[in-house]
Structure 1
Amino acid sequence: MDHASPDERTVVAVDPDGSAVAWSSVAAGVSSPEEPFPDGFRTERAEPIDPSEADAFVVMEPAALDRVRETNPTLPVVALVDDPTQPVAAHPLVDSIATDPDGVETQVEWLSTRTDADPVRTSPSSAPSRIERLGSGATRLATVRDVDTAYRTTVAVADEVFPEYDVVIGVSEDGWIEPVAVSADVALDECQRVRAGRGSAGTVIERGEPIVTPRRGDESNGHHITVPVDDDTVLQISTDDPGGFADEDGRLVELLASHLEETLDRIRTDDELRAERDRLLALFENVPDPAVAYDDIDGEPRFRRVNSAFEETFGYDPESIVGESIDEYMVPDEVESRSEAEELNAKLRRGENVRREVTRETADGERHFILHVIPIHLDAENVSGYAIYTDVTARREREATLRRQNERLEQFSSIVSHDLRNPLSVAEGYVDLARETSDLDHLERVDEALTRMDRLVEDLLSLAREGEVVGDIESVSLDSLAREAWASVDTSDARLLVEDDVELDANPTRARELLENLFRNSVEHGRSRDGDAVSRDDENSAEFSNHSTSSRTKSDDSVEHGSTSSRAEPGDSVEHGRSRDSDTVSRDDEHSAEGSNHTTAAESDAVLTVRVGGTTLRDGDTEGFYVEDDGHGLPEDADRIFETGFTTDEDGTGLGLAIVERIAEAHGWTIRATTGEDGGARFEFGTG
């Protein structure tokens, strides 16, 4: 007969009632109005067809085979089943089985190609040969998924191939060969186990070679063939026929045993793969770092699965992001970050391992990670893989802290080697001069040099104490801090005006130190070189210096500090926004609060005023405080005033404002230097 080409073959599906419809590979299944195929096998109806036009048949129930037998039993028949042990799969007219629509097409193609040269059956009356039954059984074994079913299916196939023989499968366990599956007409508990190394079964497992022997102890002179399946399993057929076995029986048993061996190997491999998959899944779920399983869809990585650490770190519900773009959810909007993500995606598609530091959006804002991406297939086109994010933000912060500390050490080394050496050299020179001339007046210059060294050492120690953490925080009054700080500074005839009080969350000691350095800076850059107070209207600019003055005064220092003396002297001026009896006092009020002096307008113009109070920063949302003076304002290079060692005063240490900035940063405050209302320097602090 002429056989159709693969593209022209007509495959007919036959329902149990005999209805025939065209098999539709596009529809991935077929149905008839009366008996639909199982769920998942059908997506559209197929048109009825005359079964005589078929080149192959698809059946699901034994009843459908009656129609096949009536039409043309010589054509290939594929059983579409959920379970290969179903009765229709063992029917003699069934040549092969499939568990899904794709399998149907594969089996039809294989059977049709084979029958182009040699038909499956030569006539309607001929039954399948034993080799055909064995081939059909091998197909059934190919779909088995567990060992016990493999044993039972093998025995069922053997019963079909050798209906006149008894079949048993034995497995070696704990020194015994235990029967695990037997023919349908034999009770399993009637089969005796055999000690390993004894009998034909034990010998076959020990030697790995088949044995054909008479059945021992049986007066019927029965025979059996025992063949090895693997190192622990044997397959045995037995007969009571005195004539023994046919010549081809041994070859068929060995062939069936080889099919079982392949099935067991596949099942064990699948089990190992599943176990490995489960281990990987457990590792994926329990790894402490955020992990993502992704699929590359249309050139973009998308979430397939995330672990609990990912959910905790990034704050996304796992179910809501499956199928969504990873880049859209995690990569910051900056152009540089997006370009980097595109570069990574291209590498992953090429099958390259990726390990680099990246910045990603988390539930707590941007953080830094070491991203390790592992594609499923290395050095090949990839559509899936795994990404693990190891948070290194804390490490980067430690590294940044270490860099700052190293920079600080370098700055200290520079200051110590230069700034301390200069006054020391001056002191040595004047000591030598005093020794040579016996003029003790030179020792005053020595004292000045030593005083400068003392101030520099004190500032260096203060700067060294400023770390990244401020210690205990408590609510403190800006008014109280300002008065205490003012009392600790040589303010000469300057005056302090606390315009209003605010509560700060701060470490009292370090916040007071911040104000002390600001006050010293204001007082010293608001004076002329001869020490007189400089009016804000003075055309001659005083030098602005980034330094603090020592809180230590010489023994003959007659300067009174604000709010420490009961006398109302020009140098003892602290004005407050509220007096002790709670009456409000304006800074323009001629009557100052307790502890302040009365000044004329002329005197007021000649005295440096430092004002302190609460404020709202320019963004309109951030609260804070300010310190402002009415001196000569910021220098031209004001952007450098917080640099360690920067000063415009030859006597300055260049450390005062650096200390201020360090204390503010340790509190988490922002600091900004600008020009005040009266042209002086104004420092604004954002506290939250």
Structure 2
Amino acid sequence: MTTATATQRPRTVLYVADAETDASDGAGALEGVDAGPERSVHAVTAVDRVRNWAPDADCVVFAETPTTAAGASLLEVIEAAGSTPVILFTDPSFAPTAARSTDGIDGYVRRDTDDAVAHLADEIEWVCRETGDAGSADRAASAPGPAERFLESVPEVVACRDRDRLFERLVETAADALDCETCWLSTVHFGEFTPRVSASGVPDDELEPTSRDGVLGETLRTGEALRIDEIATDDRLTAPLDGVTSLCCVPVGDIGLLQVAAEEAAAFDDRDCDSLTAWCRVAAAVLERIDADASQRTAHKQLQQERDRLASERDELAAERDRLADERDRIRALFAAIPEPAVHYGIDGGRVLVRDSNDTFSEVFGTDLEEDGDEAPVAPGLEHRGATLLESLRAGERRQLVSRRETADGIREFLLTLVPVDAGASDGEASGAHAPDGLLVYNDVTEASRRERAVAAAEARLETIETLVEEEMRTPLNVARGYLELADETGAAEHFAEVDDAQKRLGELVDRLVSIVRRDDVLVETEPVAIHDVARQAWVTVETGDARLVTRTADDRVLEADKARLRELFEQLLGTVLDAADGNDCGTNGGDEPVVPDDATDETDTEPTVVTVGATDDGFYVARRDAETDAADADGGIETTPVPDQSIATDGTGFGLDTVERIADAHGWNVGVAADDGRIAVAFRGVDAADGQYGDH
């Protein structure tokens, strides 16, 4: 190695403070002062370090106030510094006169001024010249000590990006700094210390793996250096090589041990152990950074692959969505030609009449549309759209609407298409205006709608994932990169804590991405829930006025459901049913206006409305009875549940049950509504009981 001359050699300063943070910050500030020669400032917190390193230093700075608890070690530091000058860098509370009266203090600088650090740098140069440049020049002209040799190699080690190169440089520097070629690194492998890298003085075929049991394993576990001055008289360890008398063994993080051996006894002192320990700590920190970089690169690559996969999946889903849209359009274009349920409408005397319905209609809906006296039959889905149907037929307009209806196979979703047909008939009115007929075609789109909702849910998940990958993951990556650059520049190990935090944040984001990818919006988490318990909980959150809730313990049912969503269903349903009671919306005439019972009056002095919650064979129901009906059925045993020939789907009823229907769909239930004078009932079918029977709660 090249020996630095006196003019080339940086001024070596020990910056002593009680707290490690104060020592590190102060050393960095002093080293950054531009004035004077280049300085190599080392942060020191222990008196023993001062004693070991002071002979190779030009100056010792004591950066505490002697009258405080942190500055009580001043005299010990002066003694440990020996002939090396000591400068007191203190608060003004310790006056210069007190400093001059203290033996061993060669300089004094107040640290409460704006340019205190610059004054300290000037004082160091002045004191070093006053106390004898000759001695400093002699030290500078001599070969650097182990600590300086290690320090000279720190930048090269910090620059390592590969584990093997780091291990080689670790051993090479240790051997050179201690002038000992019997040096090697053993790493933990399958419970043993296996030789990994060795210096030139160690034969390749003589080192054998060593068990982790015993003193070497204890050294790795405690992190404390092991020094043996005479192996022959120490029963803790046998000589690893022939001719080895003394040994110094230092842990390198938790990956292994750096061992230096010599033929002479007591070849290593405390300074050697301290220098070697500090060197191994630097190597462990660099190794941690290398591993973190590798993990970060791997995580980044995995995330990139996951993003590409999700983007590909998104494109496939978009293509599927477009395909479904094209298929829907094609199906709509073929409605008039395929064998679907169909109803032939016409206008007679200003009324819309059913002229005919096909066989498929009867098979699907289990009924034939026949005129009953003065009542004109209305096809399912048009009970409350008579005015719209009449207007469309008169205008000759093609219209479509979606409706969920009761069929022989349960509740199904249909696309209703009204196709004008010019039949050349008259509506019988005095004007003799031409009124075309119309063909109403039912197309079952239940499955297509479910797929479309699934695609929409998947798109929402993909958008969330894209936002996380593009926005939230960038911040921890930038944080990690910034602190790695700081660590590279300063060699300060504390920056790696920030890198670790960024890595944890990335891990949390990866877990969040995985949870989003695996989430299925169609399914819900279920648990056994008693419907009466949930109904009563929902009742207290709804504006009920004078209404009364009736539940029967024997009629309760325990079912599998998402409890929070079921409570939301009851809150919405109870509010809607009670609102319908307040609005007297207890039935319809198939047109746009509600039916008002003949015996309805304006009197307000009535009995409260009764809302009943009960169970059916395959589900449950919520029913409302108004005051008149409740009085007529004083025994309380009236039938309030929907029967099959009364049930219609929730759309078009005017009750606003969209939220109820979505929650029921999420659970796989069918919803039906029945209404007549004074009564409304909403029934839920296809409900799986938690225990297959009713229970008491």
Give the alignment's TM-score, normalised by structure 1: 0.31
* Greater helix proportion: 2
Larger Rg: 1
Greater RCO (Cα-Cα under 8 Å, separation 6 or more): 2
Q: TM-score scaled by structure 2?
A: 0.31
